[in-house]
Amino acid sequence: MENTEKQMLKERLLDVAEGVHQAKDWIEADDYDLALIQLNDTLRLLQKMKTKVALEIFSKKETVM
């Protein structure tokens, strides 16, 4: 993985961690609707990351074959 890819991954993972932390704050404030919205947004980000990684792995396999 190149440095720019590692930096992008690091930034995305930090975004995910921040999203979970914000949801925790909403839960502690008894605002469950906002907590669920935040967790849903964070889940979408994780799904995008998962899809991107899967596509990269598939393209690397195609190159090797």
Domain-by-domain residue ranges, the chain? Answer: 3-64
Say whether pTM exceeds 0.85.
no
Summarised one tens digit per residue, pLDDT across range 7-59 is 888 898 899 999 999 999 999 999 999 999 999 999 999 998 888 877 777 77
- Check residue 65 and give its pLDDT: 58
CA distance 28 to 2: 39
- Check residue 1 and give its pLDDT: 61
CA distance 48 to 16: 11
CA distance 61 to 48: 20
